[in-house]
Structure 1
Amino acid sequence: MTGVATGASPIPFNTLPIVIGPINYAMGWSFQEISIGIAIYGTLGAILAPAVGALADRVGTKPVAMASLLGFGLAFGLMAFVPDNLMAFYGIWALIGIVGIGSTPVSWSRTINLWFYENRGLALGILLLGTSLAGFVVPQIANAVLEASNWRNVFLALAALPIFVGLPLAYFLFRDPLPEERPLQVASSSGELSGKTLRETLTGYRFWILFISIMCIALAYGGAHIHMVQMVQMHGLAPTTAASVMSVVALGIFSGRIIVGLLFDRFWAPAIAVPVLLLPIVACYLLIGTSTPAPVIFVAGYLLGFAAGAESDMIAYLSSRYFGMKSYGRIYGFLYMPFGIFSSLSATMYGAVRDQTGNYDLVLVWAMALFFVGGMILLLLGRYPVWTPKTEGAAQ
């Protein structure tokens, strides 16, 4: 959980909402130009995710995650020294994406899935609470540093988290289970991990259903998160109140992780995921315009966060249940690609609409349609395959 919290998944996405306005003011770059930076970071990381997942399958999670935490911290700190040059700004974001992907749930969730089966949904939910923890802490640190200093020092302060918190804990306390410690549903009697190969997975329809669902939800949500502070300020709320909305989003993610994770362990996961992923349609409707009262804005933020928590749980949980653990790192990496790429492109899309129209109303309408498609398509997944020590991959 701490590794996820201090890694490259939540920290950039919870930092940019606080500093995007000051960067726009200080550098003169448009909101779209600034958002392209995080699109580059997310796209490069997502493209590398399958390779990083394959490396974790081969050498284990720990060395991959530790090296990435160190690289991410150093690269993120470089943003404090970026010159007044967009290409340099984009170059640092590219470096963050390349070196940071191993510190995301692509690696950490592999180990959790190897340790747990019966309560896997809850275990993954607790793991992914790291993004909620970052959502609570990172905006507050960023806002405090910004008020005391400037946006450059925000990056420097937050770069300390992966290096001085996540890395030592991973070194001393984290490990993969030994073969004899794995649940029977995870490995065969010979010790071989159960499940489908990457080739078998890519030729099946379930993978592409998940891929399309993740793509739609990520494209709808990513930009809403990055531009949340700006959207809230358009409704007349102060910057400190807008930062508090980010904490409410994090609270929604926190509760979504635990509640949805528990329900995944007890019911067919798509039946739980669908209604949860439709909640942001209400949130987007509430965020349209410029005169929504503060309590309603907080409700919208919570609904968006709750669904975001469910989506991350869904990727890790459904990957392991439908495809097994034989090639989990590779498969999860391929499913992380639409999440990383379209979350990042979403920020650019929201920024472009803001620059062209002066508000976010049009893109919020698009997001409502994307949330609907991304949620409903999951009902086509069907029953889970059953992985056993004797018959691997037999659907029952």
Structure 2
Amino acid sequence: MNSATERNEFRLGWTVLLAGVLGVAFGASPIPFNVIGFTVEPLQAEFGWSRTQILIPITIFGVIASLLAPAFGWLADQYGVRRVALWSLVAFGLSFAAIGLTPTSQAASTLYIYYALWVFVGLIGIGSTPVTWSRAINMWFFKRKGLALGILLLGTSIAAIIVPQVAEWAIRAYGWRAMFVIVAGFPLLIALPIGFFLFREPRPEERPQAITSNGGKLTGATLGQALRDYRFWLIWFSILIIALAFGGAFINMVPILADHGIASDLAARVMGILGLGILSGRIITGLLLDKFWAGYVAFPLLCLPAISSYLLLGTDSNFAIAAFGGFLLGFAAGAESDLIAYLASRYFGMLHYGKIYGMLYMPFGLASATSPIIYASVRDTMGSYDPILTVAIFAYVIGGGLLLFLGRYPETFPETEDDEPSPAALEAA
């Protein structure tokens, strides 16, 4: 990379980064996870469904979205991220609002209609997640890649700070059905218009030289080469283990706090503090990744939620302890999301980034989707979250420790006959 490119990365790409931040914030990655915890009480009151039944939709959504992540990554690689990301924002916003159309009937079929609406969200919303947005940011930044990705993924922090407050207010003021419609305004009325005017991939001459060959084309491993690389699987299993521990704690945070006698309005504040933790984790992790090897950064940061799980054991935590635990949990979540995008680009390059990132997003999405049900099932059957919180303490340490075995970043990538789409095709997209 030449010195001019190093100096100009943020000057050239800041508008794209801004659009990406809002796209991540109000896309399908954070919003469903930030609102579903607030639907437990109203749905139990209206339909008599169990906690497990009420949280199954997030599993349905997450599993479908995770399985489709490589496909949407391929679409972004092939046709450009702008088209995929913007159309997915439209689809996600409309389908999320449609959940508010769930029938009022007490019939058993109502539960399956509710599930079907969530299926639709999963089928069409995944293109509005970091699978797409991070591809563009990785193509604008290299020298300050860690910081840029940290800023991009601040979007989930913004969602965690704002969306729970809006969701809690909307349910209290207008009911849970209206909440889905109100929250859908974030992708449709904020992220979409800003993304339309500001979001794009760089032209070849705007790319950092470090991600291109001498001919100016993107370099990187193919998906097949990545799947044969032990480092891919170390990252994959680390993501799986950490997400299994974190996802259930995050989604069940409101009912966990209720077991501690903390009311829903204070629980919303804890979720906001958790969002601040995610924000801090994003920026600090990004800065550290630009200066130090990822394994040294990842291990201590991913051990922090073990402390959080310990603090949430029992039923006698006060607001201050719960808030501190929420902050630590959020900080580690911010670190993990940064790491997925950073490690995918540094170890496997950018030529097939969308597909490879999609495969690495898969364990994150699957584990985040199934973990809430595991937590809820433990609570329903054993009367306490303590057993699963205890398991989570060890999971955080093991998951973080796996990344210590990744080794040095590759300086070159194997030659491949695959080629990227032509600049003209991407410009048209």
TM-score range, shorter chain: over 0.9
Among candidates 106, 113, 124, match of residue 149 of structure 2: 124
Give the partner amino acid of 1:15.
V
CA-CA distance at 1:281 after TM superposition: 0.6
Q: Could you say what the CA RMSD is over the residues aligned between the two structures, in angstroms?
A: 1.2
Give the partner amino acid of 1:242.
A
Among candidates 173, 177, 180, match of residue 155 of structure 1: 180
CA-CA distance at 1:191 after TM superposition: 2.3
Mapped pair 1:254 → 2:279? yes
Instruction: Find the residue that maps to 1:176 and give its secondary structure.
Output: coil
Mapped pair 1:22 → 2:46? no
Residue 101 of structure 2 aligns with which residue?
81
CA-CA distance at 1:238 after TM superposition: 1.4
CA-CA distance at 1:387 after TM superposition: 3.7
Query: 1:386–1:392: 8 Å Cα contact kept in structure 2?
Result: no
Q: For 1:1-396, list aligned pairs within 5 A.
A: 1-83=21-103, 84=105, 85-387=110-412
CA-CA distance at 1:369 after TM superposition: 1.8
Using the alignment, how far apart are the partners of 1:183 and 1:387 within structure 2? 15
1:271-293 per-position Cα deviation (integer Å, ceiling 9, x unaligned): 11100000111100110100012
Query: 1:186–1:387: 8 Å Cα contact kept in structure 2?
Result: no
CA-CA distance at 1:86 after TM superposition: 1.5
Give the partner amino acid of 1:334.
M
Give the partner amino acid of 1:314.
L
- TM-score scaled by structure 1? 0.97
Using the alignment, how far apart are the partners of 1:316 and 1:26 within structure 2? 41
Using the alignment, how far apart are the partners of 2:42 and 2:339 within structure 1? 35
Give the partner amino acid of 1:294.
F
Residue 4 of structure 2 aligns with which residue?
none
Give the partner amino acid of 2:172.
E
Give the partner amino acid of 2:53.
E
Residue 420 of structure 2 aligns with which residue?
none
Give the partner amino acid of 2:23.
G
Instruction: Find the residue that maps to 1:385 and give its secondary structure.
Output: coil
Runs of 4+ in 1 over 3 A off after TM superposition: none
Mean alpha-carbon deviation: is it higher for 317-326 or for 142-151?
142-151
Query: 2:209–2:216: 8 Å Cα contact kept in structure 1?
Result: no
CA-CA distance at 1:121 after TM superposition: 0.3
Q: Give identity over the alignment, percent.
A: 51
CA-CA distance at 1:257 after TM superposition: 0.1
- TM-score scaled by structure 2? 0.90
1:217-245 per-position Cα deviation (integer Å, ceiling 9, x unaligned): 11000011111011111111111101100
Structure 2 runs not aligned, ≥5 long: 1-20, 417-429
Give the partner amino acid of 1:60.
G
Structure 1 runs not aligned, ≥5 long: none
Aligned residues: 391
CA-CA distance at 1:392 after TM superposition: 6.8
Give the partner amino acid of 2:118.
W
1:29-81 per-position Cα deviation (integer Å, ceiling 9, x unaligned): 11111111110100000000001001000110000001100000011001111
